[in-house]
């Protein structure tokens, strides 16, 4: 007897019985019509599938709306197909490379004789909305790869899809095509049930892109866009995009004289005095935190023998990103990571279980060769300083160490106003080293530490590094953008490769576990993120210049100088603008430099022996006695208040 019923398990572990062959859409309808209207894609037993696909066995199901990452991914993927369809209808003869969803929206690479203009993008947008109104159903067809090659060669005259089928998909016997109306594209899917789901579209830009990233190949036009189920959401996104342009850390970095980039060192940041003040404040702050937790600071060489990188596995897995040199006819490499240096420090003496955990931290400068096309201000550079730490501990100490680390990460982010943090736990990948039992126990230790700290987290199944599971921290900034900053990684490989040992309570030799952790990630990227998060208006404790003293005229310079000197002696970072310029001009300049406070000195202030204070953005905040104001600022700075 064969049952015609299957059990569907929902995320809350509730189970419902359905007829075999039921679709995710029908399952959603059985719950509510509203849900069925809102869902975009189904995840069946961990695999994304079309809402219309039949389900024939007991399954776990997750129904994704636009508010989930997977929902957005499918939404934007279908929109990229709609854009290709619109381009094909408007500009016949256009041929298409690849059109994937990306972190924010989608793109499609187009081969067309027409050089697309802003006006063309508007026309394509209008055509896409027309395709949306047609409410075309998306249908999937599976066919043999050889048939698909014939279809794209003969019917579509599309060499790009043919090349994909002959190279990338060469090991697949069957492939899938998706059609909407007259438009058909090669695609794995899944897709939205219909084009009518896409309500608001904006094409953002067009740029050149070599086919398959090869500069010897055809130059295509890459059109970027984004779409939303509601016009209001699109308007909000575009408003944030405008705000992000104003906050661009590359622009603010120049204006506030924090850092610069030069042709003589592409991808290598040049830090100016203001930037160094900011960096040193961050280092001092983190050093203080780590000192409280009994960390020991180390510093390891920038260039080390190539043998070390062969031993660590970096050479094998990472050599295309490394810089090499020769010293005394021997091969050396510039370090791309700090971890092997830490193991050298650990090995200098034999350790006992009493010496563990050993917490070593290093603000270590590393160099990595990034392709010039991906360099992006401080977000992607070729040299940067990691706020690295390596903790060597016994397996029994893992959970406690992770608990302390999680608290540290949240404390630090809270100081900078990052109060929304998403946490991901990445588990054992297909290729891993060490025993499955050690992995299971380690994953359990990480999960238990997160649970004890009452932290909600998502599991990234199989996304751990080959050498151990990890926890990643993603923060939301003031523009609601996500930034992956901190990470905590367990490592069984490095202690094995370098033969690290300690004497246990049983007087036998054991292998320690190595925990890699970074809170900021790198100082450079963190400064970039902070600059945009604060729009360059750093809190008082971080501001390179905290107070600008401004005499109204030459007659007030002497009194202003005394105030300036008093502030400097009190430990505040003060400057004085004694140029022969109008007071309004000098105030505007200090505002543009985003200096938290200005002290304005004129006749009245000299007579009453006090100061008039302006605060950035807020304007005039009244008269103060100098010592009172100095103490107020010192206290505010010590407290590390997030906003001025």
DSSP 434-487: S-HHHHHHHHHHHHHHHHHTT--EEEETT-SBTTB-EEEEEEE-TTS-EEEEEE
Catalytic annotation present for 386 = yes
The rounded distance, in Å, linking the Cα atoms of 136 and 145 is 26
Mean pLDDT on 565-591: 94
pLDDT above 70: percentage of residues in the chain: 99
Rounded to 5°, the CA angle 198-202-203 comes to 120
Each residue of 276-308: pLDDT tens digit? 999 999 999 999 999 999 999 999 999 999 999
Mean pLDDT on 467-474: 90
Q: Which one is catalytic: 368, 428, 533, 614?
A: 368
Q: Which one is catalytic: 386, 397, 489, 546?
A: 386
Alpha carbon 570 to its chain centroid, in Å, reads 39
- Give how far Cα 9 sits from Cα of 6, 16, 21, 241, 562, Å: 10, 7, 15, 40, 75
The rounded distance, in Å, linking the Cα atoms of 178 and 188 is 8
Each residue of 478-487: pLDDT tens digit? 888 899 999 9
Q: Please, are residues 282 and 527 in contact by the beta-carbon 8 Å criterion?
A: yes
What pLDDT sits at residue 153? Answer: 87
The rounded distance, in Å, linking the Cα atoms of 44 and 59 is 6
Q: Which one is catalytic: 247, 359, 390, 533?
A: 390
The rounded distance, in Å, linking the Cα atoms of 499 and 491 is 13
Catalytic annotation present for 388 = yes
pLDDT above 90: percentage of residues in the chain: 77
Catalytic annotation present for 368 = yes
Of residues 595, 479, 473, 457, the one with CA closest to residue 529 = 479
The rounded distance, in Å, linking the Cα atoms of 575 and 567 is 9
The rounded distance, in Å, linking the Cα atoms of 497 and 434 is 12
Alpha carbon 173 to its chain centroid, in Å, reads 37
The residues, any chain, with a CB within 8 Å of residue 435's CB and separated by 6 or more, are none
pLDDT greater than 60 at residue 373: yes
The rounded distance, in Å, linking the Cα atoms of 164 and 45 is 28
pLDDT greater than 60 at residue 451: yes
**101-114 as b/e, with b when 16 or more CB fall inside 10 Å?**
beeebbbbbbbbee
Of residues 108, 194, 188, the one with CA closest to residue 145 = 188
pLDDT greater than 90 at residue 564: yes
Q: Please, are residues 470 and 428 in contact by the beta-carbon 8 Å criterion?
A: no
Q: Please, are residues 506 and 512 in contact by the beta-carbon 8 Å criterion?
A: no
Q: Which one is catalytic: 222, 335, 351, 470?
A: 470
What pLDDT sits at residue 2? Answer: 59
Catalytic annotation present for 367 = no
Average pLDDT, the chain: 92
Q: Which one is catalytic: 50, 77, 95, 339?
A: 339
DSSP string of 261-304, one letter each residue: --TTSTT--EE-HHHHHHHHHHHHHHHHHHHHTT-EE----SEE
Each residue of 104-119: pLDDT tens digit? 999 999 999 999 999 9
Place of tokens 């000192």: 291
- Give how far Cα 132 sits from Cα of 38, 52, 100, 317, 465, Å: 16, 19, 19, 46, 42
499 falls in which pLDDT band (50, 70, 90)? very high
Q: What does the block give as tokens for 603?
A: 């006749």
What pLDDT sits at residue 350? Answer: 95
pLDDT greater than 90 at residue 372: no
Each residue of 416-425: pLDDT tens digit? 999 899 999 9
643 falls in which pLDDT band (50, 70, 90)? low
The rounded distance, in Å, linking the Cα atoms of 418 and 275 is 21
Whole-prediction pTM value? 0.78
pLDDT greater than 60 at residue 641: yes
Of residues 122, 287, 303, the one with CA closest to residue 206 = 122
What pLDDT sits at residue 467? Answer: 78
Catalytic annotation present for 470 = yes
Torsion of CA 392, 393, 399, 402, to 10 degrees: -20
Region of poorest pLDDT, from 11-15, 498-502, 516-520: 11-15
The residues, any chain, with a CB within 8 Å of residue 318's CB and separated by 6 or more, are 336
441 falls in which pLDDT band (50, 70, 90)? confident
What pLDDT sits at residue 436? Answer: 85
What pLDDT sits at residue 440? Answer: 87
Q: Please, are residues 629 and 600 in contact by the beta-carbon 8 Å criterion?
A: no
Mean pLDDT on 377-381: 92
Q: What does the block give as tokens for 146?
A: 């050889």
Region of poorest pLDDT, from 46-55, 139-148, 457-466: 457-466
Catalytic annotation present for 556 = no
Helix, strand, coil content of the chain in percent (nearest 5): 40, 30, 30
Of residues 124, 130, 122, the one with CA closest to residue 110 = 124
Catalytic annotation present for 390 = yes
Bond before 357 cis per omega within 30 degrees: yes
The rounded distance, in Å, linking the Cα atoms of 503 and 510 is 6
Q: Please, are residues 475 and 483 in contact by the beta-carbon 8 Å criterion?
A: yes
Number of C-beta neighbours around residue 495 at 10 A: 20
Q: Which DSSP category does 511 fall into?
A: P
Mean pLDDT on 222-233: 96
The rounded distance, in Å, linking the Cα atoms of 623 and 577 is 20
Pairing of β 358-367 and β 296-297: parallel
What pLDDT sits at residue 359? Answer: 97
**551-567 as b/e, with b when 16 or more CB fall inside 10 Å?**
bbeeebbebbeebbeeb
628 falls in which pLDDT band (50, 70, 90)? very high
Q: Which one is catalytic: 81, 95, 161, 516?
A: 516
pLDDT greater than 70 at residue 1: no
What would the 3-class secondary structure string for 134-157 be?
Answer: HCCEEEEEEEEHHHHHHHHHHHCC
Mean pLDDT on 364-374: 89
């Amino acid at each position: 007897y064969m049952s015609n019923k299957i059990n569907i398990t929902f995320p809350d572990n509730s189970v419902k019985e359905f007829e075999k062959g039921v679709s995710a859409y029908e399952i959603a309808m059985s719950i509510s019509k509203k849900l069925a209207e809102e869902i975009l894609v189904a995840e069946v037993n961990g695999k994304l599938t079309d809402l219309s696909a039949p389900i024939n066995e007991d399954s776990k199901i997750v129904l994704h709306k636009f508010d989930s990452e997977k929902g957005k991914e499918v939404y934007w993927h279908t929109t990229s197909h709609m854009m290709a369809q619109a381009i094909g209808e408007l500009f016949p003869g256009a041929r298409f490379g690849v059109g994937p969803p990306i972190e924010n929206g989608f793109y499609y690479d187009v081969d067309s004789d027409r050089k697309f203009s802003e006006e063309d993008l508007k026309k394509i947008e209008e055509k896409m909305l027309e395709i949306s109104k047609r409410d075309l159903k998306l249908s999937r067809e599976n066919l043999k790869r050889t048939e698909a090659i014939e279809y794209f060669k003969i019917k579509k005259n599309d060499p790009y899809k043919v090349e994909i089928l002959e190279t990338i998909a060469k090991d697949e016997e069957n492939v899938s095509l998706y059609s909407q109306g007259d438009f058909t594209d090669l695609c794995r899917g899944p897709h939205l049930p219909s084009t009518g789901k896409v309500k608001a579209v904006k094409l953002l830009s067009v740029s050149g892109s070599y086919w398959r990233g090869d500069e010897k190949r055809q130059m295509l036009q890459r059109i970027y866009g984004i779409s939303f189920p509601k016009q209001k959401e699109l308007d909000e996104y575009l408003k944030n995009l405008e705000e992000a342009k104003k906050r661009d850390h590359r622009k603010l970095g120049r204006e506030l004289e924090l850092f610069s980039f030069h042709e003589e060192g592409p991808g290598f940041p040049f830090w100016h005095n203001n930037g160094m003040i900011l960096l040193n404040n961050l280092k001092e702050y983190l050093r203080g935190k780590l000192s409280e937790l009994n960390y020991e600071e180390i510093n390891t060489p920038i260039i080390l023998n190539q043998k070390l990188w062969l031993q660590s596995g970096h050479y094998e897995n990472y050599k295309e990103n490394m810089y090499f040199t020769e010293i005394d006819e021997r091969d050396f490499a510039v370090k791309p990571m700090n971890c092997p240096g830490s193991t050298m420090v650990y090995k200098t003496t034999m350790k006992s279980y009493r010496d563990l955990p050993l917490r070593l931290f290093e603000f270590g400068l590393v160099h990595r060769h990034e392709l010039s096309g991906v360099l992006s201000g401080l977000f992607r550079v070729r040299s940067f300083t990691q706020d690295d730490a390596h903790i060597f501990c016994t397996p029994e100490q893992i959970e406690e160490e992770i608990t302390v680390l999680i608290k540290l990460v949240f404390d630090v982010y809270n100081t900078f106003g990052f109060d929304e943090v998403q946490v991901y736990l990445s588990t054992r990948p297909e290729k891993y080293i060490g025993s499955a039992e050690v992995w299971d126990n380690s994953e359990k230790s990480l999960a238990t530490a997160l649970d004890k700290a009452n932290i909600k987290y998502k599991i990234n199944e199989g996304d751990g590094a080959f050498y151990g599971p990890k926890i990643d921290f993603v923060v939301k900034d003031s523009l609601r953008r996500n930034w992956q900053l901190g990470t905590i990684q367990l490592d069984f490989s490095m202690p094995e490769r370098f033969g690290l040992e300690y004497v246990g309570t049983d007087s036998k030799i054991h292998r320690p576990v190595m925990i890699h952790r970074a809170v900021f990630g790198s100082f450079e990227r963190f400064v970039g993120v902070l600059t945009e998060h604060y729009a360059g208006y750093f809190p008082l404790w971080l501001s390179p210049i905290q107070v600008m003293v401004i005499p109204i005229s030459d007659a007030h310079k002497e009194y202003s100088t005394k105030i300036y000197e008093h502030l400097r002696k009190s430990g505040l970072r003060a400057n004085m603008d004694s140029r022969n310029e109008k007071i309004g001009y000098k105030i505007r300049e200090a505002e543009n430099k985003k200096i938290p406070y200005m002290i304005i000195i004129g006749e009245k202030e000299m007579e009453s022996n006090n100061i008039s204070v302006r605060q950035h953005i807020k304007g005039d905040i009244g008269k103060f006695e100098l010592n009172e104001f100095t103490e107020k600022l010192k206290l505010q700075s010590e407290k590390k208040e997030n906003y001025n």
